Amino acid sequence: MGFVYDPGQLRTFLTVAQTLSFTRAAGRLGVRQSTVSQHVRRLEQAAGQPLFSRDTHSVQLTESGEAMLGFARTILAAHERASAFFGGTRLRGRLRFGVSEDFVLTRLPEILRSFRQEHPEVDLELTVELSGTLHEQLAAGLLDLVLAKRRAGDIHGELVWRSSLAWIGAPRLRVDPDRPVPLILYPPPAITRSRALDALGAQGRAWRVACTSSSLSGLTAAAHAGLGVMAHTRGLVPQGLVPVTARAGLPELGEVDFVLVHGRRQAGAQEAADALADAILTGGDRLQRPA
């Protein structure tokens, strides 16, 4: 008889795979780091192969770990469907979900489609906006759940994944160090905009606005045209654009956290928001990959 994979161990594995950190995984799951290590060790024993390569500085998925991602998601999705079916609970109501434009070109639609199939009686209203705008709408009570970048100094939200920011542009773009940096920017209150301007200000580097657009497609088109550089999540660089930091002498932009933040607990929306948050956390690694 084959080993039956434990859902708790699989959830721990997915959390480590998304955060690439046993410490951050323990914080998200609300358990000790020793518990995370134990879950991963038992899952590796069941699989008969190492799922992570780790040292004192980093944690990375092995080839077997990459394969386990798909199996883990499938098993957990089946487990959730069975629990909902035999538990006799059907979610209903309206869920107002806000998501950053960063995820439009990733596999978020697959996660939302699965959520709709599992909870057909939930009316899902999707808002795609700048992260800063989403946080404002959440505070105003206009949204129930938000998936967006976390603002500097903010401690709220459940970490989905962390990435560094990078300056990106067209492959042949050359930034003249003796002239103001041509910037392609979201309008305020975009988080990448403020991060870019703060970094250039700290460096004492002059800049000018070459293009402003509230849509990722508009910014991407301007970058493809060679109008300038834009600050963007390194793990979500649009096709055809490349990092330009090294050859342009531009300042480092640091890391950014993508988090889930719940709004005011509205009647009928709390359980639906919790269910969608669980689905996003379970499939969070897919948000880093293009559709």
* The pLDDT value given to residue 275: 86
- Please check the confidence at residue 283 and state whether its pLDDT lies above 50: yes
**pLDDT band for position 166 (50/70/90)?**
very high
- Please check the confidence at residue 1 and state whether its pLDDT lies above 60: no
* The pLDDT value given to residue 158: 84
The answer to whether the pTM exceeds 0.75 is: no
Distance, CA of 126 to CA of 144 (rounded, Å): 11
* The pLDDT value given to residue 94: 87
What is the identity of the amino acid at 278? D
Residue by residue, DSSP assigns 127-159 as: EEE-HHHHHHHHHTTS-SEEEEEPPTT---SEE
15-41 per-position pLDDT tens digit: 888 788 898 888 878 889 999 999 999
* The pLDDT value given to residue 98: 94
- Please check the confidence at residue 167 and state whether its pLDDT lies above 80: yes
- Please check the confidence at residue 97 and state whether its pLDDT lies above 60: yes
Higher-pLDDT residue of 76, 10 = 10
Share of the chain above pLDDT 70, in %: 90
Residue 274 makes CB contacts below 8 A (sequence gap 6+) with: none
Domains in the chain, please, with CATH?
A: 7-86 (1.10.10.10), 92-161+258-288 (3.40.190.10), 163-256 (3.40.190.10)
99-124 per-position pLDDT tens digit: 998 887 777 888 888 888 888 888 89
For CA atoms 126, 95, 15, 22, the dihedral sign is positive
Among 43, 41, 57, 52, residue whose Cα is nearest residue 17: 52
Place of tokens 């206009």: 142
Among 62, 141, 131, residue whose Cα is nearest residue 101: 131
